[in-house]
Structure 1
Amino acid sequence: IKLFKQLCSVPHPTYMYDPMVNLLKQILDENQISYTIDNHHNILAVIESCPTYKNYPSISLQAHYDMVFVSDNGTKPESPISIYEENGWIKAQNTSLGADNIAGLAAILLPFISKLNGEVIKEKSCNHGQVELLFTSDEETGLIGVRNLEHTLVSKLHVNTDCESPNTIINGSAGGITQIFTKQLLKVEIPSNFKILKLIFSGFKGGHTGFDLKTNKFNMTQFIGLVLQMIDCYLIDVQVGKAMNSIPFEGEVIIAVSDQQQAKNLIFNLYTLQTEFMSDKGNLAFVCAPLEQTHGFYKNELEFLSRLRQEVLIDNDETKIAVTSQYLTILKIVNDQLEAQIYARSLTSRGLDWTICYNKNVMNQFCQETKYRYEPWEPKVTKFTLLVQQMLKNCQIQPIHAGFETSFLVKQGVEAVSIGPWIENPHSVNERLNLESFQKFYEQILS
């Protein structure tokens, strides 16, 4: 727990490398563990086999060190994360925690160190063959670190630690793709009797686009689409979403309306009908102001929000596992240009292709660009999968709808599984790590 808290408190959002890389270098140097860092900030540390284990196969253990940083109180990504324990869980104060994937990183690093900050904390483990520890960068924005990995693994057996479901061995994962739609908006004159109404949303459940599917059957962007359908207004600005693979939980919309009070009452009544989709921090604030600008945009520029499917699009009737899904994760206006980012996942390449065609049809007035595509990790039950199941006991084998870096590493010819502790609500301010499960997960890594 001490190592986890130290690692987790260091600022480590995607694309911010130095604080976490420097801390990991310090820990590895202090424990005389050799390592190399490639040009994409991926770290490969090698622990040589113990004398009596030289004939054992090499194994690689892997975690990514970046996080999806979100905050509900204006905390900056470069700020240290404030961590506390409550009722058997570890949480962060007003931000995401980053247990995804620092819990995995701490668990695979701890067995091989004996010192931390100059203190002897335990004896080093010495009952293993060669171990490679791979710490990857920028996983949360399209698996960029592992996509550009310059290290070559010696190991042919690989354990990823990004699973967030206890008692589960992951043997396959979804591929993903970011689809960016842009449109230059036509400015129109707003009637002089209209006034400004700013809507500030917070407290939609949000979360991870691969895990939090059932709790986001109706989300913030869909609510905004409903509001614009019901109200006579002009659109001035919209700013929703902070990360391409995180379902939005807060945002702002500025509209011009003829009757501020009537619009407020209608919007508030619509909002109260959606309480099942809110967290306990749900809130809707209004800011009324006189009309300062003479031009805005037609509200029907966002009419696609009522037609765009944001949900599990295809699932497996037998396994009940989602096969293909998508969510609109970022919606904004910049320099009179509307941008909508849709993040799609699928356990099949054909499913990813289908979302591209579907969205192009729905968003036919927009320019379309696709980025950060990666293919699925095809589910397989190998000898290594069964061996891990035998060692861990009472764990089920299944694929998962999230995207894992393993989809790239299996191309190096490794047999892979993913395991991890119980983490709830990753990619949101409600993220939390279960302490009992974390301890059990560490014991699984030791085994």
Structure 2
Amino acid sequence: MAMLSTLSPNTLWKIFSDICNIPHPSHHEEMITKYVVDFANRNKIKVEVDQVGNLLLTKPATPGMENYPSVALQAHLDMVPQKNEDTKHDFLVDPIQAYIDGDWVKAKGTTLGADNGIGLASTLAVLVDPAVEHGPIEVLLTASEETGMVGAFGLKPNWLKSQFLINTDSEDEGEIFVGCAGGVDFKQSLPIGYALIPEHHDTFIQLSLKGLKGGHSGCDIHLGLGNATKLLVRFLAEYAADINFRLSEISGGSLRNAIPREAFAAITLNKQDLAKLNEMISAYQATLENEYAGAETSISFSATNLTREQVKRVMEQDSHKKIIDWLHCAPNGVVRMSKQFAGVVETSLNLGVVYIKDDKITANYLIRSLVDSAKDNVVSMLISQSQLASIEYQISGGYPGWQPDPQSPLMQLVKDKYKALFNQEAKIMVIHAGLECGLFKKPYPHVDMVSIGPTIVSPHSPDEKVNIKSVEQYWKLLLATLKAVKQLV
């Protein structure tokens, strides 16, 4: 990671290297908060912490720019903790092992945390880099964005004083985001009936579906990637239907806003059916490789032996069938593309996590939409499905979208500066992912907002990487905008 500090812009990359050394998954931001507070105190910058863990740093203008309008730079403190199964990493203790690979910065076997660590580093770098010219600056750092936008929900009115806000959580350099999807969590739960293992079942198998790319359930939902849970259940419902097997355990995914990369099921069966099971696994592997050619390149579907001691019980036949049927027909993926914004998903849902706990199986979805009524329709659809199957459900964590403002002066300024710097037009975009700007609009309805950032590929997965050149271009755009904000008044 020492090599990161050799990259440009130097101050930004040095701070990002520090951030990689500090554990900061969602809801565990104590150490990163201490780092920021110490950073502010060391550099004589005013810092406050609110009741939900948000931080606000304020710095006066560069001499001669006191009459410029105040600008708030915003990032979130937390990162998504995802790792490959064979990677030994404790996100509460271990540093992220970032490294340079050609034009990219990546992490060894885990998420990198460029989402939103690069944005976080850039906001702090603005405060301390002597080459940066700016008017009055506020830096707002929000808590636990990745697991429900906790900090944004708790943001109080009258704390921020700025007329303009630049969110740093976008992931495509050259694009200026002026709107985003709203979202809501939907949870389904079903009690499981258990039974003793049938006497004629003498073979115990774990099915593992791994090697999928996963990714962000907003940014990547339209890419045709596989959902490991859905694909595993499809095998149980279709391919294995002719085998007399019984389900013992099933799980998939780890975050509701990440497309599941891995899924697992423990089953029991008679040894005489094992050869047929292995034939079906090979056939299904070939089917997936054919169907997902060009999208998924490392799919691995396999069976490994378990011992009798590892499989204590199986599901009753009714529970076994109902769970497979329910998850097999569970909706997932793009519901509708936007008719207003070409190539943008309007409405989607992600079956993000399936797990068993306390004799109950639970499925967590994240529903997103640019249109509130369309989001409500997906919720209604899941309610109907739940009622048909007598499944318990819970709706929570709803957050609004960010309505685009085509007359935004800040958007026009950023667009003009991009053209001047790079001699090409920036794209004005709406993102299907959730940005905190939608929630900021409630306590601060008159603040003009845009979102920009570097190019980050596969956020929320261990394949996450950030393009080095795009970080430098993002930094130049940010600084040029801050220097020119006087034009806005």
Where on the TM-score scale, by shorter chain, does this alignment land: which range?
over 0.9
Q: Residues 208 and 428 of structure 1 are in contact (CA less than 8 Å); yes or no, is this contact kept in structure 2?
A: yes
The yes-or-no answer on 1:83 pairing with 2:80 is no
Distance 1:295 1:241 in 2: 22
Q: Residues 98 and 105 of structure 2 are in contact (CA less than 8 Å); yes or no, is this contact kept in structure 1?
A: yes
The yes-or-no answer on 1:146 pairing with 2:161 is no
The yes-or-no answer on 1:397 pairing with 2:414 is no
**Residue type matched to 1:251 in 2?**
A
- The match for 2:114 among 95, 99, 108 is 99
1:27, CA displacement in angstroms? 1.6
Please, which moves more after superposition, 324-333 or 389-398? 389-398
Q: Residues 220 and 249 of structure 1 are in contact (CA less than 8 Å); yes or no, is this contact kept in structure 2?
A: yes
- The match for 2:301 among 284, 293, 314 is 284
Distance 2:307 2:40 in 1: 59
Show the counterpart of 2:379.
Answer: 356
- The match for 1:305 among 327, 344, 347 is 327
Distance 1:285 1:20 in 2: 40
Show the counterpart of 1:204.
Answer: 212
Distance 1:197 1:216 in 2: 29
What are the Cα deviations for residues 118-149 of structure 1, in whole angstroms up to 9, with x where unaligned?
A: xxxxx353x32111001111000111111112
1:162, CA displacement in angstroms? 0.6
User: TM-score scaled by structure 1?
Assistant: 0.94
Aligned residues: 438
Q: Residues 192 and 291 of structure 1 are in contact (CA less than 8 Å); yes or no, is this contact kept in structure 2?
A: no
The SS at the match of 2:211 is strand
The yes-or-no answer on 1:218 pairing with 2:226 is yes
Larger strand percent: 1
Structure 1 outlier segments of 4+, above 6 Å: none
Q: Residues 214 and 226 of structure 2 are in contact (CA less than 8 Å); yes or no, is this contact kept in structure 1?
A: no
Distance 1:354 1:35 in 2: 43
1:155, CA displacement in angstroms? 0.6
Distance 2:281 2:316 in 1: 20
1:267, CA displacement in angstroms? 2.0
- The match for 2:287 among 273, 280, 298 is 273
1:305, CA displacement in angstroms? 2.5
Distance 1:3 1:53 in 2: 26
Q: Residues 8 and 81 of structure 1 are in contact (CA less than 8 Å); yes or no, is this contact kept in structure 2?
A: yes
Q: Residues 256 and 291 of structure 1 are in contact (CA less than 8 Å); yes or no, is this contact kept in structure 2?
A: no
1:281, CA displacement in angstroms? 4.9
Matches within 5 A, 1:86-165: 86-114=101-129, 123=130, 125=132, 127-150=133-156, 152-165=159-172
Show the counterpart of 2:336.
Answer: 314
Q: Residues 119 and 453 of structure 2 are in contact (CA less than 8 Å); yes or no, is this contact kept in structure 1?
A: yes
Q: Residues 199 and 252 of structure 1 are in contact (CA less than 8 Å); yes or no, is this contact kept in structure 2?
A: yes
Show the counterpart of 1:118.
Answer: none
Q: Residues 281 and 301 of structure 2 are in contact (CA less than 8 Å); yes or no, is this contact kept in structure 1?
A: no
1:10, CA displacement in angstroms? 1.5
1:286, CA displacement in angstroms? 2.3
Distance 2:222 2:185 in 1: 21
- The match for 1:30 among 25, 34, 42 is 42
User: TM-score scaled by structure 2?
Assistant: 0.86
What are the Cα deviations for residues 383-415 of structure 1, in whole angstroms up to 9, with x where unaligned?
A: 221122112222111211000000111221211
1:240, CA displacement in angstroms? 1.3
Show the counterpart of 1:416.
Answer: 449
The SS at the match of 1:52 is coil
Please, which moves more after superposition, 284-293 or 249-258? 284-293
Pick closer, same or farther for the CA change 1:246–1:54 going to 2, 3 Å: same
The SS at the match of 1:332 is strand
**Residue type matched to 2:334 in 1?**
V
**Residue type matched to 1:320 in 2?**
G
Show the counterpart of 2:63.
Answer: 51
Q: Residues 214 and 225 of structure 2 are in contact (CA less than 8 Å); yes or no, is this contact kept in structure 1?
A: no
Distance 2:410 2:96 in 1: 37
Show the counterpart of 2:20.
Answer: 8
**Residue type matched to 2:282 in 1?**
F
Q: Residues 9 and 83 of structure 1 are in contact (CA less than 8 Å); yes or no, is this contact kept in structure 2?
A: no
The SS at the match of 1:303 is helix
Matches within 5 A, 1:235-246: 235-246=247-258
Q: Residues 225 and 296 of structure 2 are in contact (CA less than 8 Å); yes or no, is this contact kept in structure 1?
A: no
The SS at the match of 1:249 is coil
The SS at the match of 1:325 is strand
RMSD: 1.7
- The match for 1:340 among 363, 367, 378 is 363
What are the Cα deviations for residues 406-435 of structure 1, in whole angstroms up to 9, with x where unaligned?
A: 011122121100000000000000000000
Q: Residues 99 and 423 of structure 1 are in contact (CA less than 8 Å); yes or no, is this contact kept in structure 2?
A: yes
- The match for 1:227 among 217, 221, 235 is 235
What are the Cα deviations for residues 197-245 of structure 1, in whole angstroms up to 9, with x where unaligned?
A: 1122321111100011233453211211211112132111112111121
Show the counterpart of 2:30.
Answer: 18
Distance 1:88 1:366 in 2: 48
